[in-house]
Chains A and B, each alone.
Chain A
Amino acid sequence: MAELRDTVSPATASSGPPEDVTALPPDFSALYSAHSQPIYYLALRLLADPQQAEDATHDVFVKAFGKVAEFRGDAEIRTWLYRITLNHCSNLRQRWSARNIHTTLDEASFDHLAGPADSPFRLLETKELGQRIQQTLNSLPEEYRLLLLLVADEQLSYEQVGQLTQQTADAVRGKLHRARRAFAAAFAKTA
């Protein structure tokens, strides 16, 4: 069974400089600004690897670049991006499992991702919370992990979460309650 590398949030949003999206085409820049963070975060927490999450986010937006004219609204774009991300991450995880890769926590990988403006205390705080959340999510059944990460996005309705996870909105509501309890129990163990 593959054990994925535990990871953390690499830095705090408030301390890092704003991302430069001026090099992107204007329409695409707006799409990237609106959706890149939730997409990156979903990939990060599913893959538990910042570099893999960056690669996945890159690939998802390259696919979106060719489709940007076809979308009818932000909600549709977000759902489509999530679907591509879920498929991409699922394929990656299956490949890892097949190769039975065993990786361990690499402290150095956290250090180079921290922005220069981060104070040591803030970095420690971010590392601790990110590690605990990643550890918690890794311990949950995949279905619970997915539900919680998707429902945490306030832009998604239960119906859209159901579409993404191939079930009804009622099923989402029912499983969500159990997922929350499982998360709370697992999170408490990481303290």
Chain B
Amino acid sequence: MKPDPILRQTTTEKQVEETITGETQQVRAEQKFVSAEELLRHDRAQTPVPEALAQRLAATVGQTEPGSPPWWRRWL
């Protein structure tokens, strides 16, 4: 899908500490996004699934038999 370039603004201001010749400088970087969707995709990429979820899911499905195929599929 093509994003609509309506959202033209700074969305984040990243503060990065860099030590140069013993001095600490504050560097402000900007990221720009051309659409709401692009911004949401960026946000999604920065949002990892909780690490514990896979283990929790494994424990749950380990107690569950996978569903058997539907009856009609056995005849195909």
- A→B interface (CB under 8 Å): 9-14, 16-17, 19-21, 23-25, 28, 32, 36-38, 40-41, 44-45, 50, 54, 57-58, 61-62, 65-70, 113, 121, 124-126, 128-130, 132-133, 148-149, 151-152, 154, 156-158, 176-177, 179-181, 183-184, 187-188
| Cβ-neighbour of A187 out of B4, B7, B16, B58 (below 8 A) | B7
Kindly list chain A residues whose C-beta atoms are within 8 Å of the C-beta of B64.
62, 65-66
Give the A-B pair count, Cβ closer than 8 A.
153
Contact B67 A180 (CB under 8 A): no
- B→A interface (CB under 8 Å): 1, 4, 6-7, 9, 11-17, 35-61, 64, 66-67, 69-70
Known: A19-B53, A23-B54. 19 other contacts (CB 8 A): A12-B48, A16-B51, A20-B55, A23-B58, A36-B49, A41-B43, A54-B50, A57-B49, A58-B60, A61-B61, A62-B60, A125-B13, A130-B46, A130-B47, A151-B37, A152-B36, A176-B4, A180-B7, A181-B6
A24/B58 contact (C-beta < 8 A), A66-B64, A129-B11, A130-B43 known: yes
A10/B50 contact (C-beta < 8 A), A32-B57, A158-B1 known: yes
Q: Closest CB of chain A to B27's CB: distance in Å?
A: 10
Q: Closest CB of chain B to A130's CB: distance in Å?
A: 7
Contact A38 B15 (CB under 8 A): no
Q: Specify the main secondary structure of chain A where it touches its partner.
A: helix
Q: Closest CB of chain A to B12's CB: distance in Å?
A: 5
Q: Closest CB of chain A to B5's CB: distance in Å?
A: 10
| Cβ-neighbour of A58 out of B41, B53, B66 (below 8 A) | B53
| Cβ-neighbour of B50 out of A50, A62, A158 (below 8 A) | A50
Kindly list chain B residues whose C-beta atoms are within 8 Å of the C-beta of A132.
11
Nearest 8 Cβ contacts at the A-B interface: A66-B67, A23-B58, A152-B40, A9-B47, A183-B36, A152-B37, A41-B44, A40-B49
